[in-house]
Amino acid sequence: MEEIIYKTENGNTRVIEKMIVSKFFEDLKHRMDFELLCSKGLDQRYFNQRDLHRPGLALAGFVKLFTHEKIQILGNTENYYLLSLSEEGRRSAFNKVFEFPIPCIIVTNGNTVFPEMLELCKEKNIPLAVTGLNTTDAIHLISGYLDEMFAPEISVHGSMVDVYGIGMLFTGKSGIGKSEIALDLIERGHRLVADDTVKINRIAENILVARGHSNLKHFMEIRGVGILDVREMFGIRAVRVQKRLEVQVDLQLWDGKEEYERLGLDEQLTGILDVKIPLIRLPIYPGKNITVIAEAIALNQLLKIYGYDAAKEFSEKLTKEIQNKQALSTKVVDTYLERDFE
Amino acid sequence: MLEKEVVVTNHAGIHARPSALLVKMASRFDAEVFLSCEGTEVNAKSIMSVMMLAAALGSVVKIRTEGADEVEALRAIEALFASKFNED
């Protein structure tokens, strides 16, 4: 069985449709220190929810709106409640809850698992594991993992470089020189994230993270030369595995008819996975040093992040200057009037 | 070569945004376009130069165009001044 089933949204966005429970346990077993008490159903059960659920109410008998399709976390609250019941009471509570196709159950705080629960899990093929972590830590860790796994992803044709700590994505037509610019930036001490195919994930509401394809690693193709291994050539400091995407630089062949940004007062934005990031349309022509411009873009972006916008600053200064000039000319009128002895 | 004097009529003068409009307009023509104000002449296709003029409301600016499409260039720049750069 396939571990993860993907689906495509909006034409080019890949999201997880469902994921097999065994992969979840496999990926987290070291971090969570799981003790798998019931492994039945591990390879048959899929889940499709990134959220977790604590089934306290369901155990108490209220199963309306019970989000059974989520991973169920049994913390201290549930444990104490179950302890307060008789064995018979627990059995009926479990019976009611386990009627639902639950993906798996995780007991936190290293709490002892009730034999009747384990028995029922085995009967119903519901995987059950215990972790020594407390509930908050366990939920935090699992949520982080699931958020990352379920993050929507797109693949973009371009080069991703970390320039002075700013994640820059270079896009543009095939053959315009994206890889060459990346190579030049690496030569100047910046770090390659990915070349040719860049995978971008939205890991939080407004955060994009770019990384390379696992097959491509840090290989790149330079036209006329062939395939290069950047990590081998320039060493470990020339590469990095992933980087937050902060600016997109779209390279375009210079066109005299096209109007390019001259001031930088109005930031153009691009939407990748619905996250707005600055877009710079950069006209290029032979002999133009894009690398230096890329560095300048990165530094300017850093200044903006730190609250200094050069274009705005300059514009305000100029406006003030013009106002002063105007004030001066009215002053001349004032002096004239002062000397008007009518 | 053509020359014409215009007056800055928009309230805020030739600040950053009008300068950008001027430069973009001037760049559309093959003709050379110059602006001068208070005795300083600058290339109208260079934004920093145009902003340097810092022409205020009421300033007299001389437009000078030179080249194949100098007539059209002069007319376009003049129109831009007349439109108050879409301000006010």
- Asked if the model's pLDDT at residue B48 lies above 70, the reply is yes
What are A236's two structure tokens? 């470990």
Least Cα separation, residue A329 to chain B (angstroms): 10
What pLDDT was estimated at residue A336? 67
- Concerning whether A196 is annotated as a catalytic residue, the answer is yes
DSSP category for residue A239: B
What pLDDT was estimated at residue A332? 63
What pLDDT was estimated at residue A148? 87
| C-alpha to C-alpha distance for A236 and A230, rounded to whole angstroms | 9
CB B28 within 8 A of CB A331: no
Phi first, then psi, for residue A277 (nearest 5°) are -130, 155
Closest CA to A252 of A168, A163, A178: A178
Among A315, A318, A330, pick the best mutation site for testing chain B contact (most B Cβ within 10 A): A318
CB spacing of A318 vs B56 below 8 angstroms: no
- What is the number of residues in chain B? 88
Task: Give the DSSP H/E element, type plus range, for residue B75.
Answer: helix B70-82
Q: Where are the domains of chain A?
A: 4-149, 153-305
What share of residues in chain B are helix, strand, coil (percent, to 5)? 40, 25, 35
Angle at B64 between CA B58 and CA B69, to 5 degrees: 130
Among chain A residues, the shortest Cα distance to B51 is held by A318
Contacts of B55 in chain A (CB under 8 A): 322
What pLDDT was estimated at residue A335? 66
B54 touches chain A (CB under 8 A): yes
Contacts of A333 in chain B (CB under 8 A): none
What pLDDT was estimated at residue A10? 79
In order along its 342 residues, chain A shows pLDDT tens digits of 788 889 888 778 889 999 999 999 999 988 988 999 999 888 889 999 989 999 999 999 899 899 999 999 999 999 999 999 999 999 999 999 999 999 999 999 999 999 999 999 999 999 999 999 999 999 999 999 998 889 999 999 999 999 999 999 999 998 888 999 999 999 999 999 999 899 999 988 899 999 998 877 899 888 889 899 999 999 999 999 999 999 999 999 988 777 888 888 888 888 899 999 999 999 998 888 999 999 999 999 999 999 999 999 999 999 998 988 877 776 666 666 666 666
CB A147 within 8 A of CB A209: no
Contacts of B56 in chain A (CB under 8 A): 322-323, 325-326, 329
Closest CA to B55 of B75, B29, B5, B3: B5
Domain A4-149 has CATH 3.40.1390.20: yes
Superfamily (CATH H level) for A153-305: P-loop containing nucleotide triphosphate hydrolases (3.40.50.300)
